[in-house]
């Protein structure tokens, strides 16, 4: 028996068998010069890789049990692209002029092609950009000898053990088979962690030796709440954990009994508790957790799931389904936050040297106004089915916000010209995720109907800590006084401007922080739905005036350790 410690990311206990998934990381593509007499050899390797990729695609097409007509067409299209003479011509021309290795040449040609298509005004052509990226990845995988297996095709229940599962991998996996997640990499606020939580998967991330120590078939206990993985547990430990699973379920069932009771303190201070969702299907289940609406719909997962830019109709139907499922409760749709660790294959963001500071979120949308407007039109059209709010991610200053609002106005004009209606009043919110937004919140408030504080990024950009890097995750302290002061300043600025302050970062669902956030005056807490009952229970047992005193003390602490000690003392 061996205990491996990592970061507690999503609570719950699971006992099961490990499945090691090692092909998840797409390694860096090698780049080196070649001599003129190596060109034909490289082209020969390319020809072989294309043949192998096409054979693999045919196999996938014929071997899939329940393949839809649509999927079959995609496989055919990918085969055609891999064998396309023009593509081959461009590869030859480029290698003969640049004398670089074939993997790099394929990547470059595919990137240039995708980029040209991405900016096209024709949605069909834009969608082809992702296909080109997908096909080229497959060819490059063959050139580099990488074997990939699919997580969507699991026959047994497993605990997935991976080096670094990408958000798109997590989306595609068979969720009824994966029971828990263990990763070498990752932090509490990485997007894979957020998805794992949304799927209700107990998860422990940041165990740097996990894939070295665990082999497929090992028995594991994953204790998500404690951030522990027990490898090959003895009988006594297994028995103890089986009892804990039963207790955990019983306690949670009691909390669920709070149902739709208001999130109101003992002295009558009321706040709203809402849910964060990543995929439309999650909306169906939110009522049972007592969610008063959706405070953050991460719309980019719609794009990530299909691996391409979603067209207007597809988005419209997805947004409508969410709005209808909420039965009149408000839905806040965050415009796409692509880039960073959420890459749409085929976009240059994949090769930015510092993607978290690069073309991400609102910057991405503003750089591709046609794609942005398509999303806004889809949201506008869906707004006739129920209350919708729009919010823009990663706003760094008033110029970006004004530009985004101007494009929203253009999208409204386009809807009117097409005779498509939309709701008269749609609130527009600003996500506060960058210190610069807090420092200029008095200006942003003038053009915003609400603020929503994204603490995952606010912590990352304030403390200069990559949110996905487990090596520095010890620094990502949400209760660091700098972070608390910024949160306080954002809430105060919202109130001074007469608007509400929401929070949709992971901190909003952290029970440890509940009294502190209440005391800081937060109006709305948005979190993974499973966290709502516990937070509601804490709010209903709290006294608002005492929480205000606690918050005052906390923002005047000198260190996160002091703040945490204060919160521990409060929790008794
Ligand atoms: C945040 O940054 O806190 C947030 C809610 O957005 P995301 O986690 O999607 O970046
Ligand atoms: Mg964010």
% of the chain with per-residue pLDDT over 90: 64
State how far the Cα of 308 lies from the Cα of 302, in Å rounded to an integer. Answer: 9
Residue ranges lining ligand 1, Cβ < 6 Å:
194, 296, 298, 337, 433, 454-457, 504-505
pLDDT of res. 384 = 98
Which ligand gives the minimal distance to the CA of 504? 1
Ligand 1: which residue has its CA nearest to atom 6?
A: 454
How many alpha carbons fall within 13 Å on the CB side of residue 300? Answer: 24
Average pLDDT of the segment spanning 284-310: 87
The catalytically annotated residue of 78, 142, 415, 504 is 504
pLDDT of res. 469 = 83
The catalytically annotated residue of 78, 142, 163, 191 is 191
pLDDT at residue 554 greater than cutoff 70: yes
β-pairing, 294-298 vs 331-334, is parallel
User: Which pLDDT band, with edges at 50, 70 and 90, does 147 fall under?
Assistant: low
Average pLDDT of the segment spanning 97-126: 83
Ligand 1 atom with the smallest distance to the CA of 393 is 6
Cβ–Cβ under 8 Å, residues 274 and 508: no
The answer to whether residue 504 is catalytic is yes
pLDDT of res. 523 = 98
State how far the Cα of 18 lies from the Cα of 565, in Å rounded to an integer. Answer: 37
pLDDT at residue 69 greater than cutoff 70: no
Higher pLDDT, 504 or 175: 504
User: Which pLDDT band, with edges at 50, 70 and 90, does 567 fall under?
Assistant: very high
**Helix, strand, coil percent content, the chain, rounded in steps of 5:** 55, 15, 30
List the end-to-end C-alpha distance of the chain, in Å, as a whole number: 33
State how far the Cα of 188 lies from the Cα of 472, in Å rounded to an integer. Answer: 12
Segment holding 365, helix H or strand E: helix 362-367
Q: Is the dihedral of CA 385, 391, 393, 399 positive or negative?
A: positive
pLDDT at residue 59 greater than cutoff 50: yes
Is 327 exposed, middle or buried, given 0-12, 13-18 or 19+ CB atoms closer than 10 A?
exposed
Q: How far is the CA of 507 from the centre of ligand 2 (A)?
A: 12
Virtual torsion, Cα 505, 509, 512, 513, nearest 10 deg: 50
pLDDT at residue 362 greater than cutoff 80: yes
In tens, the pLDDT along 520-541 reads 999 999 999 999 999 999 999 9
Segment holding 71, helix H or strand E: helix 69-83
What is the token pair recorded at 500? 């509400």
pLDDT of res. 66 = 44
Q: How far is the CA of 460 from the centre of ligand 2 (A)?
A: 9
pLDDT at residue 71 greater than cutoff 70: no
Q: Which residue of 188, 429, 431, 501 sits with most ligand 1 atoms within 8 Å of its CB, as the best mutation to test the pocket? A: 431
Higher pLDDT, 17 or 144: 17
Lowest mean pLDDT among 135-139, 170-174, 243-247, 306-310: 306-310
What is the token pair recorded at 473? 């995750």
Lowest mean pLDDT among 222-231, 301-310, 504-513, 561-570: 301-310
Range list of H helices, 145-222: 167-172, 191-198, 210-213
Lowest mean pLDDT among 38-42, 101-105, 301-305: 301-305
The answer to whether residue 191 is catalytic is yes
Ligand 1 atom with the smallest distance to the CA of 460 is 2
In sequence order, the β-bridge partners of residue 315 are none
In tens, the pLDDT along 155-212 reads 899 999 988 787 667 777 888 899 999 998 877 777 788 888 888 899 999 898 898 8
Cβ–Cβ under 8 Å, residues 273 and 508: no
Lowest mean pLDDT among 71-85, 285-299, 546-560: 71-85
In tens, the pLDDT along 384-441 reads 999 999 999 999 999 999 999 999 999 999 999 999 999 999 999 999 999 999 999 9
Phi/psi at 371 (5° precision)? -65, -40
Ligand 1 atom with the smallest distance to the CA of 506 is 3
Ligand 1: which residue has its CA nearest to atom 8?
A: 456
pLDDT at residue 283 greater than cutoff 50: yes
Q: How far is the CA of 122 from the centre of ligand 2 (A)?
A: 30
Q: How far is the CA of 453 from the centre of ligand 2 (A)?
A: 9
Ligand 1: which residue has its CA nearest to atom 9?
A: 298
β-pairing, 263-264 vs 270-277, is antiparallel
């Amino acid at each position: 028996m061996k205990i491996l410690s990592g970061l507690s990311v999503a609570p719950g206990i699971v006992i099961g068998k490990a499945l090691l998934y090692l092909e998840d990381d797409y390694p860096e593509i090698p780049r080196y010069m070649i001599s003129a007499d190596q060109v034909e050899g490289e082209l020969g390797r390319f020809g072989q890789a294309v043949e192998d990729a096409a054979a693999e695609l045919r196999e996938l097409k014929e071997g899939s049990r329940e393949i839809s007509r649509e999927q079959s067409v995609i496989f055919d299209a990918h085969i055609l692209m891999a064998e396309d003479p023009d593509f081959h011509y461009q590869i030859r021309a480029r290698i003969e002029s640049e004398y670089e290795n074939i993997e790099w040449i394929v990547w470059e040609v595919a990137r240039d092609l995708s980029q040209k298509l991405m900016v096209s005004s024709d949605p069909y052509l834009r969608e082809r950009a992702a296909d080109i990226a997908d096909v080229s990845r497959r060819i490059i995988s063959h050139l580099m000898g990488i074997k990939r297996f699919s997580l969507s095709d699991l026959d047994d229940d497993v605990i997935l053990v991976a080096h670094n599962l990408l958000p798109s991998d997590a989306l595609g996996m068979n969720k009824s088979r994966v029971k828990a997640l263990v990763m070498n990499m990752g932090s509490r606020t990485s997007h894979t962690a957020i998805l794992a939580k949304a799927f209700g998967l107990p998860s422990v991330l940041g165990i740097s030796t996990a894939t070295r120590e665990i082999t497929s078939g090992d028995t594991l206990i994953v204790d998500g709440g404690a951030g522990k993985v027990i490898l090959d547990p003895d009988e006594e430990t297994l028995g103890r954990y089986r009892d804990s699973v039963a207790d955990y379920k019983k306690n949670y069932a009691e909390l669920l009994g709070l149902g739709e009771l208001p999130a109101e303190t003992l002295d009558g201070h009321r706040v709203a508790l809402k849910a964060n969702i990543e995929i439309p299907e999650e909306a169906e289940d939110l009522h049972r957790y007592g969610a008063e609406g959706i405070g953050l719909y991460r719309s980019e997962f719609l794009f990530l799931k299909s691996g391409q830019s979603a067209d207007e109709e597809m988005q419209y139907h997805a947004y409508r389904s969410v709005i209808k499922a909420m039965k009149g409760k408000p839905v806040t749709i965050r415009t796409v936050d692509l880039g960073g660790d959420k890459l749409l294959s085929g976009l240059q963001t994949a090769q930015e040297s510092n993607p978290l500071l690069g073309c991400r979120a609102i910057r991405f949308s503003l750089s591709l106004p046609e794609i942005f407007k398509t999303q806004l039109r889809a949201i506008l059209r869906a707004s006739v089915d129920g209350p919708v709010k729009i919010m823009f991610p990663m706003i760094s200053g008033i110029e970006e916000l004004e530009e985004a609002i101007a494009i929203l106005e253009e999208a409204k004009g386009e809807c009117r010209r097409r005779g498509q209606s939309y709701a008269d009043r749609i609130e527009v919110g600003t996500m506060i995720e960058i210190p610069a937004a807090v420092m200029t919140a008095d200006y942003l408030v003038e053009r915003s109907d609400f603020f929503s504080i994204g603490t995952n990024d606010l912590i990352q950009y304030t403390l200069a800590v990559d949110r996905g890097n487990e090596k520095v995750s010890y620094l990502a302290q949400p209760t660091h006084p700098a972070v608390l002061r910024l949160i306080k300043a954002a809430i105060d600025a919202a109130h001074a401007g007469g608007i509400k302050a929401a929070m949709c970062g992971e901190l909003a669902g952290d029970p440890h922080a509940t009294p502190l956030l209440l005391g800081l005056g937060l109006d709305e807490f948005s979190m993974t739905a499973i966290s709502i009952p516990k937070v509601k229970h804490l709010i209903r047992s709290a006294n608002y005036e005492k929480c205000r005193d606690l918050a005052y003390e906390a923002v005047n602490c000198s260190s996160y350790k002091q703040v945490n000690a204060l919160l521990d003392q409060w929790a008794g």
